[in-house]
Structure 1
Amino acid sequence: MNYELEKLIVKRFPFMDRKCYPNTDFGYGGFDIPDGWFPLIVQFAKELDEIKPSDLVLFQVKEKFNQLIICAECSGPEKDLLALDALEENIEKLSFSLCGGCGEFLMPSHVCHPRSQNEDALIEWAALYLEDTNIA
Structure 2
Amino acid sequence: MKTLPLPIHQRIDFKGYIQNHDLIRLYQEAKLFTAPSFHEGFGLIILEAMAAGSPVLTSPRGAIPEYFKDAVVFCDPERHEDIAEKMLSILQNEEVQKDLVLHGNRLVQNFTLENMARGYVEAFEKLKNP
Instruction: Give the TM-score of the pair, scaled to structure 2.
Output: 0.30
Instruction: Give the TM-score of the pair, scaled to structure 1.
Output: 0.29
Bigger-Rg structure (1/2): 2
Q: Which has the higher strand share?
A: 1
